[in-house]
A and B are shown apart, each in its own frame.
Chain A
Amino acid sequence: MAYAPHISQDVSVRVVMLKVLIALLPGIFAYVWFFGPAILVQILLASVTALSAEALMLKLRGKPVLLFVTDGSALVTAWLVALTFPPIVPWWLTVTGVLIAILVVKHLYGGLGQNPFNPAMVAFCAMIVAYPQLMSQWPRAEMNTFEPMLRAIFASDRQLDAIVMATPLDALRTILRDPEQRATIAGILGSHATFGNIGGRGWEWVAAGYLVGGLWLLKQRIITWHVPVAFAVTLALVATTFNIANPDRFVGANFHLFTGGAMLGAFFIATDPVSGSTTPLGKIIFAAGAALLTWIIRSFGAYPDGMAFAILLMNLFVPLIDMLTQPKVFGHRRKSER
């Protein structure tokens, strides 16, 4: 190297991405434990698709294929797509989702580091809008029989009643919206097999797995505290406030945090550096905004889990947030102090 500095830390994009993948493992482990190994099939499917699509695009764009394919970023996207999709969606849904993420969202915007939107979240939103039915079929907790799931994934004939059940978020909203039932939160949570002690049955463990992985990422300094803390605190605050105001209508903080994509979102999705804000204050605003929107969509929107939409919406505001939250440069005073 002819120019300073002549030394560099032993880190690379590959190491960063690899650590993100490693951090996902505890959550995946819990996932397999409670919902069977189908998710592994989806992850494999997504990974192969992502790597192939990535290689193809790099080739077309005249980039060094091997160098970029092995950077791990496509795998992270692939895993996030697989983990946010129901594990029993038909194989082509996963493949299409990943292709949208890699081909369109990543490469048409200029490849690694250039995409203003989170690729996995665009894939999720596109698919849930296009195939709301398929995207809402989740397996039962402790549904460990692999075979019907495999059939669901690969066979066109979907005899799902035995294995499918609404997600906790979905179940909650359906029951609450049904005036006939006159249900209250407490009643629903107590009576329903979908719900566990804190959040959704089984899901609370998956969320705990993501939490463990996320804390490890924090310790590895791959992510900073700003996003997860702001996300969790905002979601908890809003949920608690409304829960106190109307406990029959609004579920509490624990449930929100340990159900659906909240933990995954807080540690692995809202922290995506490429499409997120980069200033410390900006990260807080970004994550708080995403959490607030998540809660709003979950509580009032048409889709059961609003996290994906919330993050995409906040992606839109990133340039503005970054511009307005530039930190005070060493020795300079803030504009307001001048």
Chain B
Amino acid sequence: MLELFRFPGGIKPDAHKEESARTPIAPAPLPPLLVVPFRQSATGGVDIRVKVGERVLKGQCIGSAEGPFGTCVHAPTSGTVIGIESRTLPHPSALAAPCAIIEADGEDAWRERVPLEPFSTDPAKLRTRIREAGIVGLGGAVFPSHVKMNAHIETLVINGAECEPWITCDDRLMRERAPTIVAGAAIIRHLMGAKRILFGIEDNKPDAAAAMRAAVEAAGGKDMQVIPVPTRYPAGGEKQMIRVLTGIEIPYGKLGPDFGVQCFNVGTAHAVARAVLHDEPLICRIVTLAGNYARPGNVEARIGTPIDALLALGEPKPDTDRIVMGGPMMGFVLPESSLPVVKATNCLLAMSPALFPPPPPEMPCIRCGACTRACPMILQPHELYWYARSKNFGKAQEYHLFDCIECGCCAYVCPSHIPLVDYYRFAKSEIRAREREKAAADRARERYEFRKFREEREKAEKAARLAAKAAETKAKLAQEGAAAVIAAAQSRAHPEGKDEA
């Protein structure tokens, strides 16, 4: 048996998983109109590869990856691109970005697919496939997976913790499609040269763990282990999961491979297998409908499906007053429900005042230390709050503000109901903005200094040139003068020379 480690802090909120975990994943119907944002990963840009009026096939790349951090975007069904326009994205910042509006033709016709045999294929080619399949971390962070796979590791961690209350998409995925997840994990292991795979699953999901164990056994199960981890939020945080399974603590600014370990979500492993073995790019994902629904559950929805259409499947109860994308700990309230499903949409939590009562009024911090005991990063949340609030950003950074993973444990336990995470987000964005400003100012100063330098250099060069020219002229004059003098002297010396010559 593997020795488990404890991560510090953490909380135990009510899980509320039963409601949505009961029924199998249902396919969401194909909507008539899909809105596919071209930006689907946490980093990098895309080159738009379709034009308005163009017919696209299911799985066709409509936006290709730009730069090493970009990922591709695909048509989720066959149809016609009837528009490319800027639309609001379901993102905490509520920014707008270009999207392809695709009218489905109902045929759902695939482009040509070329499955790969993973273990005889060149790793570079596999990585390209994963990149071109648009695979990003499906735990919610949507970081491009091919970037994370570009390393050599000892231990591959596959994260099936799903510790946020209410969310069950990974739970259902593991119960229903464990063999695919294991196949995907095996591909990633091969790609990264890992020796062993550890599947971490919170122990409140025994069915998922059993299914995964069976799949591991069926696959030969060499150096693969399914490990139940204690149910404690945020056990599914990447750093916490790695810590629990391997004892390794990855500090801010360091990456898993620096310590010989890398972590992927079960949904991501599943997507990798589909992409490599079936050449299916990431055009759909499982979305949990939980909270104030008449029919909670999990649906498999195409990227680009209007969220409204998914909500209708769950039938929100009449007193539903907002929809949160993600879980109650880290999710955010959607500004409107007409936005499209994106790769980060793991859960659409319907909220009502009865189910999620508004917080009591905020009180001053009494330094009770509850937040400190709950913080999984061993930060001093009340100190961070104090410095963020007083805009003492330097101090906030000294107290490791950027190590905060915004898990919300501190705010959850705070008896004064201080929205602590908001303060940290505010401080972080201010610091980043200032750094950007400073960088811009630095660049401007550098430009200015370079211009001055160039002007001075040019002036110096000009001066040098002038001086050289002057010297030349002088020398010439001197020479001419000398010649004249010589001539004069000669003529004087040989007055009659001319005659001689």
| A residues with CB within 8 A of B | 1-9, 11-13, 15-16, 64, 67-68, 71, 73, 111-114, 221-222, 224, 273-274, 276, 278-279, 322, 326-332
A5-B368 contact, Cβ under 8 Å, with A326-B380, A330-B377, A332-B400: no
Show 26 residue pairs from A and B whose CB-CB distance is below 8 angstroms, ordered by the A residue.
Answer: A3-B422, A4-B332, A5-B408, A6-B329, A7-B356, A8-B411, A8-B412, A8-B414, A9-B412, A9-B413, A11-B415, A67-B363, A73-B366, A112-B366, A114-B364, A221-B373, A273-B367, A278-B367, A278-B382, A279-B372, A327-B378, A329-B378, A330-B7, A330-B249, A331-B249, A331-B403
> Please, which residue of chain A has its CB at the minimum distance from the CB of B358?
A1
Q: Which of A16, A67, A112, A329 contacts B377 (CB 8 A)?
A: A329
Q: Which 10 pairs of residues, A with B, have the shortest CB-CB distance?
A: A331-B251, A5-B408, A113-B364, A331-B249, A330-B377, A6-B328, A11-B415, A273-B367, A7-B328, A273-B368
A113-B249 contact, Cβ under 8 Å, with A7-B356, A329-B378: no
Chain B nearest CB: distance from A49 CB in Å? 22
Q: Which of B7, B251, B329, B380 contacts A7 (CB 8 A)?
A: B329
In the assembled complex, the Cα of A81 lies from the Cα of B368 at a distance in Å of: 21
- CB contacts (< 8 Å) of A64 on chain B: these are 361
Q: Mark B345-383, 1 if CB is under 8 A from A, else 0.
A: 000010100001011110111111110110011111011
Besides A3-B422, A274-B366, 20 more A-B contacts (Cβ < 8 Å) are A1-B359, A2-B333, A4-B330, A4-B332, A4-B406, A4-B421, A8-B359, A8-B411, A12-B360, A13-B363, A16-B366, A67-B361, A68-B363, A111-B364, A112-B366, A221-B373, A322-B383, A329-B251, A331-B403, A332-B400
- CB contacts (< 8 Å) of A114 on chain B: these are 364
- CB contacts (< 8 Å) of B411 on chain A: these are 4-5, 8
Query: Do B380 and A8 touch across chains, with their CB atoms under 8 A apart?
Result: no
> Please, which residue of chain A has its CB at the minimum distance from the CB of B363?
A13
> Please, which residue of chain B has its CB at the minimum distance from the CB of A2?
B333
In the assembled complex, the Cα of A112 lies from the Cα of B412 at a distance in Å of: 20
- CB contacts (< 8 Å) of B363 on chain A: these are 12-13, 67-68, 71, 112-113
In the assembled complex, the Cα of A326 lies from the Cα of B333 at a distance in Å of: 35
In the assembled complex, the Cα of A195 lies from the Cα of B254 at a distance in Å of: 63
Q: Is the interface of A mostly helix, strand, loop or mixed?
A: loop
Query: Do B368 and A16 touch across chains, with their CB atoms under 8 A apart?
Result: yes
Interface size counted on chain B using CB atoms at 8 A? 59
- CB contacts (< 8 Å) of B414 on chain A: these are 8
- CB contacts (< 8 Å) of A16 on chain B: these are 366, 368, 415
Q: Mark B280-300, 1 if CB is under 8 A from A, else 0.
A: 000000000000000000000
A112-B364 contact, Cβ under 8 Å, with A5-B329, A7-B328, A330-B239: yes
In this assembly, does B230 line the interface, its C-beta being within 8 Å of a C-beta of chain A? no
Query: Do B250 and A331 touch across chains, with their CB atoms under 8 A apart?
Result: yes
> Please, which residue of chain A has its CB at the minimum distance from the CB of B414?
A8
Chain B nearest CB: distance from A298 CB in Å? 28
Chain A nearest CB: distance from B331 CB in Å? 6
- CB contacts (< 8 Å) of A326 on chain B: these are 380, 399
- CB contacts (< 8 Å) of A7 on chain B: these are 13, 165, 328-329, 356, 412
> Please, which residue of chain B has its CB at the minimum distance from the CB of A327?
B378
> Please, which residue of chain A has its CB at the minimum distance from the CB of B252?
A331
> Please, which residue of chain A has its CB at the minimum distance from the CB of B368?
A273
> Please, which residue of chain A has its CB at the minimum distance from the CB of B406?
A4
- CB contacts (< 8 Å) of B329 on chain A: these are 4-7
In this assembly, does B246 line the interface, its C-beta being within 8 Å of a C-beta of chain A? no
Q: Which of A8, A113, A221 contacts B366 (CB 8 A)?
A: A113
Chain A nearest CB: distance from B65 CB in Å? 30
Q: Mark B3-18, 1 if CB is under 8 A from A, else 0.
A: 0000110010100000
In the assembled complex, the Cα of A332 lies from the Cα of B7 at a distance in Å of: 14
In this assembly, does B417 line the interface, its C-beta being within 8 Å of a C-beta of chain A? yes
Query: Do B254 and A278 touch across chains, with their CB atoms under 8 A apart?
Result: no
- CB contacts (< 8 Å) of B365 on chain A: these are 113
Q: Is the interface of B mostly helix, strand, loop or mixed?
A: loop
In the assembled complex, the Cα of A274 lies from the Cα of B378 at a distance in Å of: 20
- CB contacts (< 8 Å) of A73 on chain B: these are 366
In this assembly, does B88 line the interface, its C-beta being within 8 Å of a C-beta of chain A? no
Chain B nearest CB: distance from A112 CB in Å? 5
> Please, which residue of chain A has its CB at the minimum distance from the CB of B330?
A4
Chain A nearest CB: distance from B420 CB in Å? 9
In the assembled complex, the Cα of A221 lies from the Cα of B415 at a distance in Å of: 12
In the assembled complex, the Cα of A328 lies from the Cα of B403 at a distance in Å of: 12
Chain B nearest CB: distance from A304 CB in Å? 31
Most buried by A among B358, B361, B363, B379: B363
- CB contacts (< 8 Å) of A222 on chain B: these are 368
Query: Do B369 and A4 touch across chains, with their CB atoms under 8 A apart?
Result: no
- CB contacts (< 8 Å) of A3 on chain B: these are 332-333, 419, 421-422
- CB contacts (< 8 Å) of B239 on chain A: these are 330-331
In the assembled complex, the Cα of A64 lies from the Cα of B400 at a distance in Å of: 34
Q: Which of B349, B378, B399 contacts A330 (CB 8 A)?
A: B378
> Please, which residue of chain A has its CB at the minimum distance from the CB of B422?
A3
Q: Which of B249, B351, B380, B400 contacts A278 (CB 8 A)?
A: B380
- CB contacts (< 8 Å) of A328 on chain B: these are 378
> Please, which residue of chain A has its CB at the minimum distance from the CB of B16?
A7
Q: Which of B387-415 contact A (CB under 8 A)?
A: 399-400, 403, 406, 408, 411-415
In this assembly, does B28 line the interface, its C-beta being within 8 Å of a C-beta of chain A? no
Query: Do B376 and A8 touch across chains, with their CB atoms under 8 A apart?
Result: no
A12-B249 contact, Cβ under 8 Å, with A278-B367, A278-B369, A332-B400: no
Chain B nearest CB: distance from A81 CB in Å? 18
- CB contacts (< 8 Å) of B7 on chain A: these are 330
Most buried by A among B364, B383, B408: B364
In this assembly, does B324 line the interface, its C-beta being within 8 Å of a C-beta of chain A? yes
- CB contacts (< 8 Å) of A112 on chain B: these are 363-364, 366
Chain B nearest CB: distance from A311 CB in Å? 15
A8-B417 contact, Cβ under 8 Å, with A329-B377, A331-B239: yes
- CB contacts (< 8 Å) of A6 on chain B: these are 324, 328-329, 331, 349, 351, 356
Most buried by B among A67, A71, A330: A330
In this assembly, does B416 line the interface, its C-beta being within 8 Å of a C-beta of chain A? yes
Chain B nearest CB: distance from A72 CB in Å? 11
In the assembled complex, the Cα of A331 lies from the Cα of B251 at a distance in Å of: 4
A330-B333 contact, Cβ under 8 Å, with A6-B328, A16-B368, A273-B367: no
- CB contacts (< 8 Å) of B13 on chain A: these are 7, 9
A329-B412 contact, Cβ under 8 Å, with A4-B329, A5-B330, A71-B363: no
In the assembled complex, the Cα of A78 lies from the Cα of B372 at a distance in Å of: 28
In the assembled complex, the Cα of A3 lies from the Cα of B369 at a distance in Å of: 22
- CB contacts (< 8 Å) of B379 on chain A: these are 329-330
Query: Do B372 and A278 touch across chains, with their CB atoms under 8 A apart?
Result: yes
> Please, which residue of chain B has its CB at the minimum distance from the CB of A275?
B367
A330-B251 contact, Cβ under 8 Å, with A4-B332, A273-B369: yes
- CB contacts (< 8 Å) of B366 on chain A: these are 13, 16, 73, 112-113, 273-274
- CB contacts (< 8 Å) of A273 on chain B: these are 366-369
In the assembled complex, the Cα of A316 lies from the Cα of B378 at a distance in Å of: 25
- CB contacts (< 8 Å) of A5 on chain B: these are 328-330, 408, 411-412, 421
